Amino acid sequence: MNNAQQQKIEKTIGELYDDSRLDKLKMLKGAAKSVFRPIQPSDFEEVYLSISSEQGKHLKELIVEKDLKKIVEFGTSFGISTLYLAQGVLETGGNIVTTELIESKAKKAVQNFQKAGVDHLIQVKVGDAMDNLKDHDEEIDLLLLDGWKDLYLPLFRLLEHNFHKDTYIYVDNANMPDSKVFLRTVAGDNKYHFQSMFGGTVVLITLKAAH
Ligand SMILES: C[S@@+](CC[C@H](N)C(=O)[O-])C[C@H]1O[C@@H](n2cnc3c(N)ncnc32)[C@H](O)[C@@H]1O
């Protein structure tokens, strides 16, 4: 049963990667809008900006291997990363809360989750993650940070009380300037362990006591 479902998710992911092949061109168009003002998420309304398939497969394996159930994602976009997370929680019996600022992107993501047959596993919160996660009152087994990098630190602080000794925090685009500030600040707490992956583009944070 899960096999057929996993294949359905894989098929949807494949179609979305196909559809994202013009991302580089669309990114340039988006970036051009910000010549005279700071860059905004809406400049990338049509751009996937997704994690790689290698990252996605690793995330799925991490979820299954560590039996992670309660997943929170910052930055849904069109849902490629969320679908990999869904492949994981399908095996562990978990669920996902994901957040997307741009309404049109969130709507398409929901359609993609329906198409893949996993919408029942995913709650999509539309709007600023800082608002829609402020009352999050469940423990978090895995937090995926993949939204705008200047929010990594405040969002981490907002959700820190939901972490437990075996929580994983997956930091995408860890080599970007705002991410580096975030990682340096959190390292100052002396509570966390940092594992650099994928050539430094990803950092996996765990609590020191646990590992
Ligand atoms: C790098 S993309 C996410 C890609 C997605 N995780 C994937 O791999 O398919 C970042 C997304 O974060 C969204 N975003 C930016 N600021 C946000 C905020 N304050 N709250 C929620 N989402 C935000 C952007 O609109 C964008 O779609």
Confidence of residue 30 (pLDDT cuts 50, 70, 90): low
- pLDDT tens for each residue of 111-153: 999 999 999 999 999 999 999 999 999 999 999 999 999 999 9
Spatial neighbors of 127 by CB under 8 A, at least 6 apart, are 99, 101
φ and ψ at residue 46, rounded to 5 degrees: -105, 5
Q: 24: CA distance to ligand 1 center in Å? A: 16
Q: What is the identity of the amino acid at 37?
A: R
Tell me what pLDDT residue 210 has.
Answer: 57
Q: Whose CA is nearest to atom 11 of ligand 1?
A: 75
Mean pLDDT on 28-38 = 73
Full set of structural domains in the chain with CATH: 2-210 (3.40.50.150)
- pLDDT tens for each residue of 35-89: 777 778 887 788 888 999 999 999 999 999 999 999 999 999 999 999 999 999 9
Pocket probe for ligand 1: among 23, 26, 47, 49, the residue whose CB has the most ligand atoms within 8 Å is: 49
Q: Whole-prediction pTM value?
A: 0.94
Percent of the chain clearing pLDDT 90 (strictly above): 82
Nearest Cα to Cα of residue 164 among 99, 73, 69: 69
Tell me what pLDDT residue 55 has.
Answer: 98
Nearest Cα to Cα of residue 40 among 81, 84, 101: 101
Q: 146: CA distance to ligand 1 center in Å? A: 6
Confidence of residue 202 (pLDDT cuts 50, 70, 90): very high
Residues 23-36 as b/e (b if ≥16 CB within 10 A, e otherwise) read beebbeebeeeeee
Q: Whose CA is nearest to atom 1 of ligand 1?
A: 49
